[in-house]
Structure formats: structure tokens, C-alpha cells
Amino acid sequence: MADIDFIQIGANIGNTASDPLWPIVRERGWKGIFVEPIAQSFEQLVENYKDVDGCFFENVAIHAYDGEVTMYNSSEGHDHRQQASVVRGYFPKVNNQEVQVKCITLASLIEKYDLLGKEFEILQLDVERSEQTILLNTDFTDILPRVIRFEHIHIRRGHKDQSIVNHLAKFGYERVSDEYDVEGQGYDTMMERNPPYSRTRNRKVNR
């Protein structure tokens, strides 16, 4: 297995203004795993990265178990506005399309790519309120991203993201400033593993 720099869960089509990895993958020559469960978005994602070597694509959802899960798709389009959630009615202003998709745990994904006990740069999640389901059901003892970055904008109400922060703290992660926030939106929480990341590579995102 090639040296992996990132795992992006909820990759959508890749080429969006708010996607922190879209410019970096080419600039840094990073290799990684893109995860996107919705077929239309997945097809466009693969097309958008067809010129980049070292990309691996998984047309699945990451969830609390291996099997199938119902998702509610906000659009049939092929652009960044197409979103999906496991939460019924999550997109109240559009006609939701119900679709059954394959799902696996994060641990199963890690095992498939032989990453158990191996450090990589970033685990990025944008999964429309499934962040808690994924992260709280994952043991990070031997799953070793330097940073874990997850969208909190939809779960922060009532400080619900604190349960994720507390869970990750058990594995040595602490909240840090978000060096991957390419638009300064403040929609994401970034946690860094302590002691410091040990692999020798350029860590910072110089934008």
C-alpha cells in the first residue's frame, strides 16, 4: 500500500471552494483515500481527480457498523450542492431522495488499507451530522491521523461537539487552531494528537 497522507470522508465531488484538500493534494503530491457514498457525486469525484496519482476511492458511507444504511440525498445534481445525510428531513427545503448505500466503519476502512498503527496527516470529515456517530464509535488507539478535522456547524448547538472533543482527548488529541480553514469560515473543529506528530514531512498548509 502506498504511503497515505489523508482520508477524506464525505468528499462530495472534490472540486469545491470550501474543500481544504482540493488544492493541497496537487501542491504537495499527497496520496489518500476519498470516501463518498452518493453515486452521482462519486462519479464526478473520480473524474475530478483523474489526473492525480495515488488516489483511492470508496463509494461507501462511513457509519457505526458494516452493512447498509439509508441516506437522504438533497439533489440529483452533479455539483457541490448535492449533499446527503443519514438524518431524515435534514434538508427540509428540498425534495429528499431516499437511497440505500453500503456502509462500513472507519476501523474497517483502516484495516482494508493496512493503516492500523500507521501515522498519516489528516482525517477530514464533512458528513452532515454523522460526525458524532463515526468518531464516538471509533477507537483511535491504533488509528493515527496527526489531526482530525470535523465539521461542527450542524452539531455545535447545545455544545454537542464537546462529546467528540472529550472522546478524542482520551487518545491524546487536543483542540488547536484550524490551519486547514481555507476560507476562514470557522465551521470546523481541528484536533491534534499529542505528543507531536513524528513523521518527517511538511505539516503546515501555507495558503
The predicted model gives 86-94 an average pLDDT of 58
- Read off the C-alpha cell for 131: 460526525
The predicted model gives 171-177 an average pLDDT of 94
Q: Which residues contact 192 (CB under 8 A, 6 or more apart)?
A: 146, 147, 173, 174, 176
Within a domain: 170: yes
Within a domain: 207: no
Within a domain: 47: yes
Within a domain: 97: yes
The whole domain housing 21 covers: 6-193
| Count of structural domains within the chain | 1
Q: d(Cα 177, Cα 1) in Å, to the nearest integer? A: 31
- Domain containing residue 41: CATH number: 3.40.50.150
pTM of the predicted model, to two decimals? Answer: 0.84
144-151 sheet: strands from edge to edge: 55-58, 32-35, 6-9, 119-125, 144-151, 188-193, 173-176
Within a domain: 199: no
61-62 sheet: strands from edge to edge: 61-62, 97-104, 67-73, 84-85
Within a domain: 205: no
Mean pLDDT is lowest, of 8-22, 39-53, 191-205, for 191-205
Within a domain: 206: no
Is 56 in contact with 36 (CB distance < 8 Å)? Answer: no
pLDDT greater than 50 at residue 206: no
Q: In what helix (H) or strand (E) does residue 168 lie, and over which residues does it extend?
A: helix 162-169
Within a domain: 200: no
